[in-house]
Amino acid sequence: MPLSSEQIAEIEAERAHTRATLRAVSEGMEKHLYTAHPVLDHGFVRVVDYMGDDAAICQAARVSYGKGTKSVQNDAGLIRYLMRHWHSTPFEMCEIKLHVKLPVFVARQWIRHRTANVNEYSARYSIMDREFYIPQPDALAAQSVVNNQGRGEALSGEEAERVLRWLREDCTRAYDHYEAMISQDGQQGLARELARMNLPANIYTQWYWKTDLHNLLHFLRLRADAHAQYEIRVYAEAMCKIVADWVPQTWAAFEDYRLGGAALSRSGLACIRRMIAGETVTEENCGMSKGEWREFRAMLDEA
């Protein structure tokens, strides 16, 4: 269950309490405020607060560039120009604060993006809930033989059942021992800050994560990619839907130039020019390494 009854009641109360405001609001984002979007088996993403919209990005850009943007007649065109030329500051004018519930091993991967303000649930002060991420059978896969960071073929049959059984048994045993260590039934229990070290990395934690739109888009470009780990990618995909409603013009440009675009090296660009000129370009004459050529061909095939 992603949300407790207390959390659901709190969210309903927050959504029922509306306020008059003079600040700019995004109608698309308003529908997401406080609403928890389920992710994985017990996780969620919900918007707690936000600032700015597409117009705020254009306002900042026009202040910075003045007459330099007069050739761009509309906001969508200006935003596409900013995205196309990798401008960052105007997009930093928008901010978002998210409440996220996620497995600890996903949180440790997520925290590598060091451009946000984070406050996490503390197991030093509080007791962790008995909630663990147990993958669906189709999410179990063997180690990739070509990518040390990736997955290969999906496990099936008895092998998948064995892995799931071990996960459940290990989680249950670890949490039982955790509870026993902090128990104060007639005696002094072990300090929570020590007892937590026994908990597995698939236990759920929660945090508030605040970042600006520029850094959020960078996060999504990496984590919503098809090659990203599934367990963090599903969080990124839920956030993509929120951003698309929050700043639709920015999202359209982001999809075009980042998610659907590609960056070329000097060698790659030279190969494209040779291909356009009618020359046959191969791995042997491309001037790239074997890995670069493989990625270059994959990029062209995907396009």
pLDDT interval class at 70 (50, 70, 90): low
The answer, yes or no, to whether residue 29 has pLDDT greater than 80, is yes
pLDDT mean over 140-156: 67
Domain span at residue 196?
A: 134-201
Query: Are 6 and 76 found together in one domain?
Result: yes
pLDDT mean over 126-138: 93
pLDDT interval class at 69 (50, 70, 90): low
Query: Are 122 and 237 found together in one domain?
Result: yes
Query: Are 106 and 32 found together in one domain?
Result: yes
Query: Are 18 and 149 found together in one domain?
Result: no
Structural domain total, the chain: 3
Kindly report the backbone phi and psi dihedral angles of residue 122, in degrees, each rounded to the nearest multiple of 5, phi listed first: -105, 120
Query: Are 51 and 165 found together in one domain?
Result: no
Query: Are 272 and 256 found together in one domain?
Result: no
pLDDT for the residue 65:
62
The answer, yes or no, to whether residue 150 has pLDDT greater than 80, is no
Query: Are 209 and 197 found together in one domain?
Result: no
Which of 151, 180, 201 represents a domain boundary (last residue)?
A: 201
pLDDT for the residue 4:
75
pLDDT mean over 78-92: 95
The answer, yes or no, to whether residue 73 has pLDDT greater than 90, is no
Which of 150, 184, 201 represents a domain boundary (last residue)?
A: 201
Dihedral sign, CA of 152, 156, 159, 161? positive
Q: Are strands 117-120 and 95-103 parallel, antiparallel or unpaired?
A: unpaired
15 is catalytic: no
- 111: tokens are 């925290």
Query: Are 82 and 38 found together in one domain?
Result: yes
pLDDT mean over 263-277: 93
Q: What are 157-205's pLDDT values in tens digits?
A: 888 899 999 999 999 999 999 999 998 676 778 999 999 999 999 999 9
Report the alpha-carbon distance of residue 90 to residue 214 in Å, rounded: 8
What mean pLDDT, rounded, does the chain reach?
89
**Comparing 70-74, 166-170, 201-205, 210-214, which segment has the lowest mean pLDDT?**
70-74
Report the alpha-carbon distance of residue 203 to residue 134 in Å, rounded: 9
pLDDT interval class at 20 (50, 70, 90): confident
Query: Are 103 and 154 found together in one domain?
Result: no
What is the pTM assigned to this prediction?
0.88
Query: Are 156 and 49 found together in one domain?
Result: no
The answer, yes or no, to whether residue 106 has pLDDT greater than 90, is yes
pLDDT for the residue 14:
81
pLDDT for the residue 143:
61
Question: Exposed (0-12), middle (13-18) or buried (19+): which is 211, by Cβ within 10 Å?
Answer: buried
Q: Which of 223, 258, 274, 294 is labelled catalytic?
A: 223
pLDDT interval class at 23 (50, 70, 90): confident
pLDDT for the residue 138:
86
Query: Are 61 and 91 found together in one domain?
Result: yes
The answer, yes or no, to whether residue 71 has pLDDT greater than 70, is no
pLDDT mean over 51-79: 80
Question: Exposed (0-12), middle (13-18) or buried (19+): which is 52, by Cβ within 10 Å?
Answer: buried
pLDDT for the residue 148:
56
Report the alpha-carbon distance of residue 278 to residue 275 in Å, rounded: 5
Kindly report the backbone phi and psi dihedral angles of residue 212, in degrees, each rounded to the nearest multiple of 5, phi listed first: -90, 165
Query: Are 183 and 300 found together in one domain?
Result: no
